[in-house]
Structure 1
Amino acid sequence: MSGTVHEFKIEHYDQAIALWKRTPGIGLSSADAHECIAGSLGRNPGLSFVVRIDGIVAGTILCGHDGRRGLIHHLVVDPQFRRAGHGRMLLTAALEGLRAEGIDKAHLLVFRSNLDGLAFWRRVSVERVELALFSISMK
């Protein structure tokens, strides 16, 4: 089935969060709350997208930037719609948006246990194994 890419609007949130929750390998946190996603979409218009098939959200990508580097979150395609190019369509749309903003590189994080996600990203990008990830909680 072929899907169509649309800008991610907050009206897509309920279907998107349901997709993220039922997809193995996707890490969710308080940053994925409705109000946080609405804020991100407002700060980064034209960078996040959904793919819709028969009226449902079958895939998502959240994307933003800090003026220097892009950051990609939640590139997810429902397993029943994978291997049809939807992930690449979403990624292409987000990268085109970043390029239009003058951003020439984007980063993303994938859980080591997410084998499907790792396989996808290894096909479309370069893995940086020399870097270590650190996180600071502001709570």
Structure 2
Amino acid sequence: MHPPLRPFLAADHAQALALWRRTPGVGLSAADAEQPVAAFLARNPGLSFVAQAGPRLVGTILCGHDGRRGMIYHLAVDTGHRRQGLASALLAASIAGLRAQGIEKAHLTVFRNNPEGLAFWARAAVARHELALFSVPAFPHPVTPDLHSTHPPRESGP
């Protein structure tokens, strides 16, 4: 049995960031700093969740939508709490929240060098091989030193 879920609060940021840092395959950027996460949570109530075992955060999912499609970020479960259905429960809670708000589908991105993440999502979602993902920065967002990722640097395009 996994720990109970509850809504992700802005006050959870420090523990969530610590979990993301120790989770292989999670890429972090300036958007994962305290203020941007708090703003994201405020804009998307009832969609992001955490699991807490005692005083420690052991699972997270960030979820939001633009009124048309949902986006899922940072589904992460602490190593000692994996294989207990926690990731699936976090995902189900966010999908139920999206459904309650009339959103019929959510998208997510998984780094190709994240085999555990790819395996989970291959079981939990539909892979869209016909799509290509592109990113257009609105302005430069250097990775802040305290949010650095353990990911190898990704190639940047022209």
| Category of TM-score, reference length = shorter chain | over 0.9
Determine if the alignment matches structure 1 residue 21 to structure 2 residue 21.
yes
Aligned to 2:74: 74
Q: How many residue pairs were aligned?
A: 139
Aligned to 1:4: 4
Q: What pairs up with 1:8-87 in 2 under 5 angstroms?
A: 8-87=8-87
Task: Tell me the secondary structure at the aligned position of residue 122 of structure 1.
Answer: helix
Aligned to 1:106: 106
* Whole-angstrom distance in 2 between the partners of 1:30 and 1:21: 13
**C-alpha RMSD of matched pairs (Å):** 0.8
User: Structure 1: where are the runs of 5+ without partners?
Assistant: none
In the superposition, the TM-score normalised over structure 1's length comes to 0.98
* Whole-angstrom distance in 2 between the partners of 1:55 and 1:87: 19
User: Structure 2: where are the runs of 5+ without partners?
Assistant: 140-158
- Identity within the alignment, %: 56
Instruction: Using the TM superposition, give the Cα deviation of residue 119 of structure 1 relative to its aligned residue in structure 2, in angstroms.
Output: 0.3
Which is higher, the Rg of structure 1 or of structure 2? Answer: 2
Give 2:103's aligned amino acid. I
Instruction: Using the TM superposition, give the Cα deviation of residue 80 of structure 1 relative to its aligned residue in structure 2, in angstroms.
Output: 1.2
Instruction: Using the TM superposition, give the Cα deviation of residue 4 of structure 1 relative to its aligned residue in structure 2, in angstroms.
Output: 0.6
Of the two structures, which has the highest relative contact order with CA contacts closer than 8 Å and spacing of 6 or more? 2
* Whole-angstrom distance in 1 between the partners of 2:67 and 2:95: 14
User: Following superposition, which runs of at least 4 residues in structure 1 exceed 2 angstroms of deviation?
Assistant: none
* Whole-angstrom distance in 2 between the partners of 1:17 and 1:129: 30
In the superposition, the TM-score normalised over structure 2's length comes to 0.86
Task: Tell me the secondary structure at the aligned position of residue 15 of structure 1.
Answer: helix
Aligned to 2:150: none
